Amino acid sequence: MEGLEKSKMSVLLGIVFLLFVAHSSAFPAYSKVHNHNFVVEATPVKRLCKSHNIITVNGQYPGPTLEVNDGDSLEVNVVNKSPYNVTIHWHGIRQMRTPWADGPEFVTQCPIRPGGSYTYRFTIQGQEGTLWWHAHSSWLRASVYGALVIYPKQGSSYPFPKPKREVPILLGEWWNANPIDVIREATRTGGSPNVSDAYTINGQPGDLYNCSSNGTTVIPIDSGETSLLRVINAALNQELFFSVAQHKLTVVGADASYLKPFSTSVIMVGPGQTTDVLITADQPPARYYIAAKPYQSAQGAPFDNTTTTAILEYGSPSCSGQCALKKPVMPNLPAFNDTSTATSFSQSLRSLRKVPVPIGIDENLFFTVGLGLNKCPPNFSSSQCQGPNGTRFTASMNNVSFVLPSNFSILQAHHQGIPNVFTTDFPANPPVKFDYTGNVSRSLWQPIPGTRVYKLRYGSEVQIVLQGTNIQTAENHPIHLHGYDFYIIAEGFGNFDPKKDSSKFNLVDPPMRNTVGVPVNGWAVIRFVADNPGVWIMHCHLDVHISWGLAMAFLVENGVGELQSIEPPPSDLPLC
């Protein structure tokens, strides 16, 4: 009798214990909700000897760094005290079931108007590493951006020894003019927008520009110590090479996904991309330049041909006396057109472990990505057609130049069944097949404007071949997909050939990213599972190209039940 009671008791205790374990893994005990206020406002900032008002968050340039653990939630109340419409995008955050918080204007929300506010609420689910946030409205992200660092869940650790220090390195672009005026001028004239006056590291151009050395960013390090640099390319329109004099960089992550570590002296980061690198202070105590300069793949196009620097400064044993007086050592950076260095870097990336690449492809898509030229419309004056030979610049995917709606966001129109805002006929293949990377006939250069989306069923397995074109100018395009991470299973030059190139697919350990650099005059193949319902824009992250229409959107339908459906819109969602 007594024995029976005892065994019953232990079974009961066992069940209680099991319930406790199940419960605590489904609802992590330590997940936090982080509340922030972002006030978007004009702030006077002086760079390159000139002071002018730029748009900032909370007066900071770059904006505040957000730090969270995987599993935490963010509630960011954005108050717009600027004279412009604004939205904020949480670049790389999956936004599972919360597309209303994604941010691209007229895609998932109408803009927050001057005087308005909106609270972005979302949870980080299964992501670790370096992401960032930025404005997704006109060219405001030139100065409205900051880092978003996601630490592992409480109690978990990195797949590499814990670094002594961790430093966000935000690469940006500085204009002496107002960036909004720059894009407005280009929209009016149809020509190429003016290029920036400087690149920046954590908001500072550095020693190689006039009047800048006073504010140069200094990154301290101690001899023997290893630091993690979280490199983010927040530049508007330029891919950048990045290097540190006399130090090797060990690449351990990109776009908040871990990679098989490898050592290199230079990395290439496209706008929208992030790269985590470990650096060890194994050189004589001194000051070393950290530098970034352009990777420019488009031939003959104007670009900002300058170099930004920060200083890696040894502390203890310290660089003092003679050492501190010496000019920092400058790294050797590749030439601006060194495509082979850019390529060998991107082809070195491998996921840390074997990954579940989708293999039962339901949607086999082929999208061309590239520029174009529009003929001057008859009612336009020549001052409005300042593109090559009296044309206007444009850009497209599959010959559709993306036009944002203006009366409803696409997501709202979809959710509420509002007609005439978008159509669902974005083509799965190019409407005309041609030699994409050859000498393309002028008759193919002018795309059709449209607000067309491509519908995906919930859970479908998607492959997209992104094929660059040689129309007007071939160029490496950093293509960013919202709401998803994807595997980059292959890339190459020339026209994609399914027979020959499928054999190159890496279905074992391809890198997972949210932004892929489609090689100049080449292609990249990506795969993902459409497990996040909503409307998700895919676009070139060179802002000049998105302004010209290099974008499209996926409409991913709800699946079955609440957990496979988008949440209802928040009550404070801005309307048009």
Ligand X SMILES: *[C@@H]1O[C@H](CO)[C@@H](O)[C@H](O)[C@H]1NC(C)=O
- Binding site residues, Cu ion, CB under 5 A: 477, 540, 542, 545
To Cu ion, the closest distance from the beta carbon of 300 in angstroms equals 16
**In what helix (H) or strand (E) does residue 363 lie, and over which residues does it extend?**
strand 363-374
Q: Does 407 interact with ligand X (rule: CB under 6 A)? A: yes
Long-range pairs for 151-158: beta carbons < 8 A, 24 or more residues apart: 151/67, 151/68, 151/69, 151/70, 152/69, 152/70, 152/128, 153/28, 153/30, 153/69, 153/70, 153/71, 154/28, 154/30, 154/69, 155/30, 156/70, 158/252
Residue 66 tokens read as 């957000």
Q: Which residue is nearest to ligand X (CB)?
A: 177
Q: Which lies closer to ligand X via its Cβ, residue 123 or residue 217?
A: 217
Q: If binding is defined by CB under 6 A, does position 51 make contact with ligand X?
A: no
Residue number, nearest CB to Cu ion: 540
φ, ψ at 16 (rounded to 5°): -60, -45
CB-CB neighbours of 60 under 10 Å: 15
Give yes or no for a contact between 437 and 337, defined as CB atoms under 8 angstroms apart: no
Our CB check for ligand X shows the closer of 7 and 381 to be 381
Report which residue type is found at 270: G
Task: Choose one: 26-34, 331-339, 341-349, 481-489; the region binding ligand X (CB under 6 A).
Answer: 331-339
CA distance 74 to 96: 13
Establish if 474 lies at the interface with ligand X (CB under 6 A).
no
Closest CA to 448 of 474, 470, 427: 427
Q: Which of 104, 111, 271, 534 binds ligand X (CB under 6 A)?
A: 111
181, interface contact from Cu ion, ligand X, none, CB < 5-8 Å by kind: ligand X
Partner in contact with 545, chosen from ligand X, Cu ion, none, beta carbon below 5 to 8 Å by kind: Cu ion
The CB-of-337 to ligand X minimum distance in angstroms stands at 4
Binding flags for ligand X, 283-312, as an x/- string (CB under 6 A): ----------------------x-------
Q: What's the min distance (Å) between Cβ of 186 and Cu ion?
A: 15
Contact with ligand X (CB under 6 A): which of 41, 67, 166, 185? 185
- Of these partners, Cu ion, ligand X, none, which one is at the site of residue 446 (CB under 5 to 8 Å by kind)? ligand X
Instruction: Please say which residue, 131 or 413, places its beta carbon nearer to ligand X.
Output: 413
The three state secondary structure string of 65-101 is CEEEECCCEEEEEEEECCCCCECEEEECCCCCCCHHH
Choose, by CB under 6 A, the member of 69, 85, 200, 212 that binds ligand X. Answer: 85
- Distances, alpha carbon 563 to alpha carbons 164, 489, 559, in Å: 40, 29, 8
DSSP strand E in 92-222: where?
117-123, 129-135, 145-151, 165-174, 198-201, 218-221
Q: Which does 477 bind (CB under 5 to 8 A by kind): ligand X, Cu ion, none?
A: Cu ion
> Could you say which residues in the range 209-268 bind ligand X, by CB under 6 A?
210, 214-215
Compute the CA torsion angle 547, 551, 557, 562 (nearest 10 deg): -50
Does 194 interact with ligand X (rule: CB under 6 A)?
Answer: yes
Q: Binding residues for ligand X, how many (CB under 6 A)?
A: 36
At 435, the amino acid letter reads D
Stretch that binds ligand X, among 139-147, 226-234, 329-337, 522-530 (CB under 6 A): 329-337
Question: Which window, 163-171, 436-444, 457-465, 552-560, contacts ligand X (CB under 6 A)?
Answer: 436-444
Residues 491-520 that bind ligand X (CB under 6 A): none
Closest CA to 361 of 250, 216, 462: 462
Query: From ligand X, Cu ion, none, which one binds at residue 317 (CB under 5 to 8 Å depending on kind)?
Result: none
CA angle 496, 502, 503 (to 5 degrees): 130
Amino acid at 520: V
Are the C-beta atoms of 311 and 232 separated by less than 8 Å? no
Shortest distance in whole angstroms from residue 548 CB to Cu ion: 9
Residue 447 sits in the site that holds ligand X (CB under 6 A): yes
Query: Least distance (Å) from Cu ion to the CB of residue 550?
Result: 5
Cis peptide bond prior to 28, omega within 30° of 0: no
Determine which residue in the list 18, 29, 44, 181 makes contact with ligand X, applying CB under 6 A: 181
Query: By CB under 6 A, what part of segment 362-391 binds ligand X?
Result: 377, 379-380, 388-389
Tell me how far apart the 2 most distant CA atoms of the chain are, in Å.
Answer: 101
Partner touching 382 among ligand X, Cu ion, none, CB below 5 to 8 Å by kind: none
Applying CB under 6 A, the residues found at the interface with ligand X are 85, 110-111, 113, 177, 181-182, 185, 194, 210, 214-215, 305, 335-337, 377, 379-380, 388-389, 399, 406-407, 418, 420-421, 431-432, 439, 443-444, 446-448, 576
